[in-house]
Amino acid sequence: MKIDSKEQFASDNYSGVCPEVLEYLIKSNVGSAPAYGNDIYTKMVSDKMREIFECDCEIFFVFNGTSANSLSLAAMSQSYHSVICHELAHIETDECGAPAFASNGAKLLLGKSENGKLIPANIEELVTKRDDIHYPKPKVISITQSNEVGVCYSLDEIRAIKKVANRLNLKIHMDGARFANALMSIGCTPAEMTWKSGIDVLSFGGTKNGMAFGEAVVFFDKKLAEDFEYRVKQAGQLASKMRYISSQWLGLFQDDTWLKNAKHANNLAKFFSTSIEGVDGVHLMFPSDANEVFLKLKPEIEVGLRKKGWIFYNFIGVSSRFVFSWSSTKKRVEELIDDIKNLSKDKI
């Protein structure tokens, strides 16, 4: 079998498993261990997460981000409720309706403000537009950190959203598929990014950071976690051999590997975006706060890159997205930069 394993920047999901995670997978692959989360690794990593978040939170493990998001939103709402999110939110654009499916009907109300971020005025407008019984009742705000266009909310922005949430009696969910990248970008503690700023539930991403699979759902508001284990089981998300999710997390937490992985990815995104800024035919579409760069490329460059074998997504119609991960190498980023610069000079 011929395998083309050339490094690409189409997604952080193109990356493999980082060595520390692999090491812990092998470490946990010894003898027998109780199933369904009753093993020592799951206990250890849950305690470690409580230490990282500096609070007594409830933690559950699932296979992927779509289930982390949709099951947590289902736990936060009834079928007749609505969830406020940005129109570009993963829960709206990339989960095949899973939040509505998991909650038996909760509707997403979409905000449209700049840079993929919800703002208080946006939320207020969506919530107060209607207050009659014929419209689903707003119950939850969901924000993504870092978000779908690679931008981070500042702590002040999150706290401002919390103020509105308090006034309007809404809970806040954070989609943290790239939580570590946001932490490294903002430079705060996990506690400050979440419960200290008013987040009630976090989808905590492990896969894009360096695991093979596995995300956590972290409940800072423990009341919302009632019976959540049944929801996870019913949805087919309870791993029988849970130790292989838990031990991967232990690998990420060893020597702050998760933070190092995120920092490496963010640094390369910054290197890439600053290197191609100002190149003719290249326009940076959003501030590149974390590990993603969105470019509007003139057609000659975009077509030329694909001809040279580069793989990347077209995002929201007009942008070419490049994402960096723990495994991205500077050498390959430089190749991409060179190709873009050379294609920019070509006249067709």
Ligand X SMILES: *Cc1c(COP(=O)(O)O)cnc(C)c1O
In the complex, which residues of this chain contact ligand X (CB under 6 A)? Answer: 64-66, 69, 90, 144, 148, 175, 177, 207-208
CA distance 161 to 145: 13
Residue 248 contacts residue 45 (beta carbons within 8 Å): no
Comparing CB distances to ligand X, the nearer of 209 and 340 is 209
Paired tokens of 291: 């590990």
Comparing CB distances to ligand X, the nearer of 99 and 281 is 99
SS3 107: strand
Q: In what order do the strands lie in the sheet with 313-315?
A: 282-284, 292-297, 319-323, 313-315
Comparing CB distances to ligand X, the nearer of 28 and 207 is 207
Comparing CB distances to ligand X, the nearer of 175 and 302 is 175
Residue 226 contacts residue 25 (beta carbons within 8 Å): no
Comparing CB distances to ligand X, the nearer of 142 and 257 is 142
Minimum distance from CB of 170 to ligand X (Å)?
20
Minimum distance from CB of 144 to ligand X (Å)?
5
Query: Which residue number has the CB closest to ligand X?
Result: 65
Comparing CB distances to ligand X, the nearer of 69 and 325 is 69
Residue 197 contacts residue 162 (beta carbons within 8 Å): yes
Minimum distance from CB of 117 to ligand X (Å)?
13
Comparing CB distances to ligand X, the nearer of 228 and 282 is 228
Comparing CB distances to ligand X, the nearer of 327 and 340 is 327
Widest pairwise Cα distance in the chain: 64
Q: How far is CA 167 from the centre of its chain?
A: 27
Sign of CA dihedral 180, 250, 74, 193: negative
Nearest alpha carbon to residue 272 among 294, 245, 251, 298: 294
Minimum distance from CB of 68 to ligand X (Å)?
7
Minimum distance from CB of 134 to ligand X (Å)?
31
Residue 324 contacts residue 265 (beta carbons within 8 Å): yes
DSSP string, 181-239: HHHHHHT--HHHHTGGGT--EEEEE-TTTT-SS-EEEEESSGGGGTTHHHHHHHTT---
Paired tokens of 306: 């694909």
Q: Three-state secondary structure along 220-233? A: CCHHHHCCHHHHHH
Minimum distance from CB of 258 to ligand X (Å)?
16
Minimum distance from CB of 177 to ligand X (Å)?
3
Minimum distance from CB of 239 to ligand X (Å)?
15
